């Protein structure tokens, strides 16, 4: 087996290779001035199982094309099997036709991956209406979660935590991690009006006395969801917050906006950025081992 990190996940891929004690190979990947991608494998992949690790953020569309070109090329060069590890998989939230004429993006991305890859592993995919990756992937798919890392961080660093999930589906992260460490949790309700505008509600009365608020979600994009949640929590007298998300997408200055309202932000290195203090590489390495890859 050889492990190859694409543009967005080279550091992570090297860590996975080290943990598994398998060869890490470099892929020469460059973008031409007009935006087209150029790829060249540096080692032979003929007859080998090739693990490509690529987060689909930042530069989400470039990242997807780079990965598809890399897997198609690996096959063309005689790879026995191509396994994609997508620490962050994009387009998962557009999973139905909300308005007539819309593209169902997650199905199209899955179809591209089905066509070029033999097996896929995704860390904390945003599965909303679909319960499992197998609903839209035909190839073998595995869902991994960073929840144990989040639980361990909170247990070690935060006294009397109250875990707050900002919308009903965040229970998969907020409630699940709270249960792992025996902490309290509360799940709020959210109404989304657009990609940027959301309204967050408390469905129940919450007691924050003596508690440290820890907001837990799968991803932070514009930060709108967490900022609205923090506005409510401030009304209850809380001043400082920790926000922990798996995927730190941070569009439109989201990180700075959160820090400005007194939030310490921690994410996982499914997307490489300065807040990515939690390392998913042991979980990916273990999954590859367990699957006999
Ligand atoms: C959506 O349901 C997700 O779980 C996140 O809450 C959401 O994508 C975060 O987006 P934003 O930071 O733009 O509010």
The per-residue pLDDT for range 146-183, each reduced to its tens digit, is 999 999 999 999 999 999 999 988 999 999 999 999 99
Contact 83, 137 (CB under 8 A): no
Q: Can you give the CATH number for the domain in which 75 is found?
A: 3.40.50.2020
Contact 149, 280 (CB under 8 A): yes
CA 48 distance to own-chain centroid: 27
Residue 264 falls in the annotated catalytic set = no
**Given the CA of residue 221, which atom of ligand 1 is nearest to it?**
12
DSSP state of 20: H
Same structural domain, 154 and 102: no
State the Cα–Cα distance between residues 205 and 166, nearest whole angstrom: 14
How much distance in Å is there from the Cα of 220 to the middle of ligand 1? 6
Domain-located, residue 275 = no
Torsion angle (degrees, nearest 10) of CA 71, 62, 248, 194: -120
Same structural domain, 12 and 140: yes
Residue of the CA atom closest to atom 3 of ligand 1: 219
Range of the domain at 152: 147-269
pLDDT tens readout for residues 93-134? 999 999 999 999 999 999 999 999 999 999 999 998 767 999
Same structural domain, 121 and 171: no
Residue 50 is predicted with a pLDDT of: 98
The tokens for 33 are 């001035």
Same structural domain, 141 and 242: no
Query: Is 217 a pocket residue for ligand 1 (Cβ < 6 Å)?
Result: yes
Identify the active-site residue in 48, 49, 172, 190. 190
Query: Is 95 a pocket residue for ligand 1 (Cβ < 6 Å)?
Result: no
Domain-located, residue 206 = yes
Same structural domain, 33 and 137: yes
Domain-located, residue 274 = no
Domain-located, residue 39 = yes
Same structural domain, 105 and 59: yes
What is the share, in percent, of the chain residues with pLDDT greater than 90? 86
Same structural domain, 107 and 192: no
State the Cα–Cα distance between residues 36 and 52, nearest whole angstrom: 20
pLDDT tens readout for residues 61-76? 999 999 999 999 999 9
Domain-located, residue 240 = yes
Q: How many residues does the chain have?
A: 293
**Given the CA of residue 196, which atom of ligand 1 is nearest to it?**
13
**What are 141's strand-pairing partners?**
120
Q: Which helix (H) or strand (E) holds 219?
A: strand 212-220
Same structural domain, 7 and 116: yes
C-alpha dist (Å) from residue 252 to 10, 195, 255, 270: 25, 12, 9, 19
Total structural domains in the chain?
2
Same structural domain, 185 and 119: no
**Given the CA of residue 218, which atom of ligand 1 is nearest to it?**
4
Confidence of residue 1 (pLDDT cuts 50, 70, 90): very high
**Given the CA of residue 222, which atom of ligand 1 is nearest to it?**
13
Query: Is 198 a pocket residue for ligand 1 (Cβ < 6 Å)?
Result: yes
SS3 155: helix
Q: Please enumerate in sequence order all residues whose Cβ is within 8 A of that of 158, keeping only pairs 6 or more positions apart, or say none.
A: 212, 214, 242
Same structural domain, 127 and 197: no
Residue 169 is predicted with a pLDDT of: 87
How much distance in Å is there from the Cα of 188 to the middle of ligand 1? 13
For residue 8, which of 278, 249, 291 has the smallest C-alpha distance?
249
How much distance in Å is there from the Cα of 120 to the middle of ligand 1? 24
State the Cα–Cα distance between residues 273 and 12, nearest whole angstrom: 12
Taking the model in full, what pTM does it have? Answer: 0.95
Q: Is 253 left (phi over 0), alpha (psi -120 to 50) or beta?
A: left
Best residue for ligand 1 mutational test, from 124, 220, 228 (most atoms within 8 Å of Cβ): 220
How much distance in Å is there from the Cα of 172 to the middle of ligand 1? 14
Mean pLDDT of the chain: 95
The tokens for 271 are 């997307």
């Amino acid at each position: 087996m050889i492990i190859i990190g694409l543009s967005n996940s080279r550091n992570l891929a090297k860590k996975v290779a080290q943990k598994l004690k398998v060869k890490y190979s470099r892929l020469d990947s460059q973008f031409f001035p007009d935006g087209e991608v150029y790829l060249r494998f540096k080692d032979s992949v003929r007859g080998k199982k090739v693990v490509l690790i690529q987060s689909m953020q930042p530069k989400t569309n470039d990242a997807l094309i780079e990965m598809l070109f890399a897997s198609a090329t690996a096959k063309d060069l005689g790879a026995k099997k191509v396994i994609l590890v997508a620490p962050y998989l994009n387009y998962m939230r557009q999973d139905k036709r909300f308005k007539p004429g819309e593209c169902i993006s997650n199905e199209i991305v899955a179809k591209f991956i089905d066509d070029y890859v033999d097996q896929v592993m995704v860390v904390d995919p945003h599965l909303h209406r679909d319960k499992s990756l197998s609903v839209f992937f035909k190839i073998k798919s595995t869902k991994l979660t960073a929840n144990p890392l989040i639980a361990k961080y909170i247990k070690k660093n935060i006294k009397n935590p109250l875990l707050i999930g900002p919308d009903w589906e965040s229970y998969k992260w907020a409630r699940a991690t709270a249960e792992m460490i025996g902490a309290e949790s509360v799940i709020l309700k959210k109404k989304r009006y657009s990609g940027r505008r959301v309204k967050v509600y408390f469905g129940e009365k919450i007691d924050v006395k003596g508690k440290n608020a820890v907001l837990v979600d799968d991803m932070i994009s514009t930060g709108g969801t967490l900022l609205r949640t923090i506005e409510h929590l401030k009304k209850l007298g809380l001043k400082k917050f920790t926000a922990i998300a798996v995927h730190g997408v941070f569009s439109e200055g989201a990180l700075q906006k959160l820090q400005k309202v007194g939030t310490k932000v921690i994410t996982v290195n499914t997307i490489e950025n300065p807040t990515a203090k939690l390392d998913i590489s042991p979980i990916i390495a273990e999954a590859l081992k367990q699957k006999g890859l």
